[in-house]
């Protein structure tokens, strides 16, 4: 399930390495997953995450683990390493590619380049625009989110509440993007609120005099490249395989 595309054709030209989550078993039964398909230690508790995982669940942990994988693969003669990251993985890929010269290209899918917490505010704004909440409800929600963000930063090392995770990932990734010298592919669904600001990135690249990027919008697709019809994702109509095909063609 971690490769949601037809990878058989992919393997004709590439070997695939998936960097695992820290302190997470490679194989588990369905009963050990919560409704978000995350591994939990108690099937009756949706949030019973392994304490070691909670401590390690930071951007730098994922970046360092990816560097280790790249280092190992790089020992093989003739290896050319291309990094693909989706959603949170795109954030990890951005930092890795900015720090690792072995990365020959990097692809960002469903990427929020301006942080993470901001998405919650943008969702409320969209709900207001769609008439799903009132102006009063929107104003109240904003105040609650600002208070939550203040609480997080008053105790940024709080692991149990996940504050360290919010602080770790809710950063501006554009400085990392502008350090990357290898080719960059940015793909996003136009119905993906997480990645809706990706079309602003060319402004940053142009300002910095950089042109090592390819931006591709996928109309009417969501965060996981399913078609959106009447505001709902149709999980019978997915486009992951063609997105990956676009990336492999671009790499070649």
Domains and CATH numbers, the chain: 7-19+57-115+171-251 (3.40.50.1820), 23-56 (no CATH)
Going by the DSSP 8-state scheme, the letter that residue 225 receives in this structure is S
pLDDT given for residue 6 in this prediction:
86
| Mean of all residue pLDDT scores within the chain | 95
Kindly indicate the confidence band of residue 105, based on its pLDDT and cuts at 50, 70 and 90. very high
pLDDT given for residue 8 in this prediction:
84
- The answer to which of 17-31, 126-140, 157-171 has the lowest mean pLDDT is 17-31
Q: What is the pTM of this model?
A: 0.94
pLDDT given for residue 55 in this prediction:
95
- The answer to which of 6-15, 49-58, 138-147, 165-174 has the lowest mean pLDDT is 6-15
**Average pLDDT for residues 111-127, to the nearest whole number?**
96
pLDDT given for residue 121 in this prediction:
97
**Average pLDDT for residues 202-216, to the nearest whole number?**
98
pLDDT in tens, 214-237: 999 999 999 999 999 998 999 999
- % of residues, the chain, pLDDT over 90: 86
**Average pLDDT for residues 41-55, to the nearest whole number?**
93
Kindly indicate the confidence band of residue 191, based on its pLDDT and cuts at 50, 70 and 90. very high
Whether 1 shows a pLDDT value over 70: the answer reads no
pLDDT in tens, 70-90: 999 998 877 899 999 999 999
Per-residue CA distances from 18 to 1, 170, 206, 236 (Å):
12, 24, 32, 25
**Average pLDDT for residues 166-194, to the nearest whole number?**
97
- % of residues, the chain, pLDDT over 70: 100
pLDDT given for residue 51 in this prediction:
94
- Beta strands in the chain, from DSSP E residues, in sequence order: 81-86, 103-109, 184-189, 213-218, 226-229, 232-238
pLDDT given for residue 10 in this prediction:
84
CB 105 within 8 Å of CB 184:
yes
**Average pLDDT for residues 117-124, to the nearest whole number?**
96
pLDDT given for residue 199 in this prediction:
97
pLDDT in tens, 26-35: 889 999 999 9
CB 243 within 8 Å of CB 187:
yes
pLDDT given for residue 3 in this prediction:
82
**Average pLDDT for residues 54-69, to the nearest whole number?**
97
Partner residues linked to 104 by β-bridges: none
147-185 burial, b for 16+ CB within 10 Å, e for fewer? eebeebeeeeeeeeeebbbbbbbbbebbebbeebebbbb
């Amino acid at each position: 399930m971690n490769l949601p595309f037809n990878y058989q054709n992919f393997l004709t030209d590439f070997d695939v390495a998936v960097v695992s989550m820290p302190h997470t078993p490679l194989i588990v039964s369905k009963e050990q997953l919560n409704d978000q398909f995350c591994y939990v230690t108690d099937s009756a508790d949706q949030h019973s995450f392994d304490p070691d995982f909670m401590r390690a669940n930071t951007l730098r942990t994922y970046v360092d683990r990816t560097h280790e994988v790249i280092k190992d693969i790089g020992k093989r003669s003739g290896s050319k390493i291309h990094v693909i990251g989706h959603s949170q993985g795109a954030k990890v890929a951005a930092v890795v590619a900015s720090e690792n010269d072995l990365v020959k290209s990097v692809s960002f899918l469903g990427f929020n380049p301006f942080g993470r917490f901001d998405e919650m505010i943008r969702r409320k704004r969209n709900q207001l625009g769609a008439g799903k909440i009132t102006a009063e409800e929107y104003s109240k929600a904003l105040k609650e989110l600002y208070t939550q963000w203040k609480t997080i930063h008053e105790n940024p090392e709080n692991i149990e509440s996940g504050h360290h995770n919010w602080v770790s990932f809710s950063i501006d990734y554009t400085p990392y993007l502008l350090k990357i010298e290898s080719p960059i592919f940015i793909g996003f669904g136009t119905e993906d609120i997480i990645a809706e600001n990706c079309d602003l990135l060319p402004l940053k690249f142009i300002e910095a005099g950089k042109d090592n990027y390819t931006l591709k919008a996928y109309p009417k697709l969501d965060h996981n490249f399913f078609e959106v019809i009447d505001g709902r994702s149709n999980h019978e109509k997915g486009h992951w395989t063609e997105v990956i095909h676009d990336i492999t063609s671009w790499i070649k």
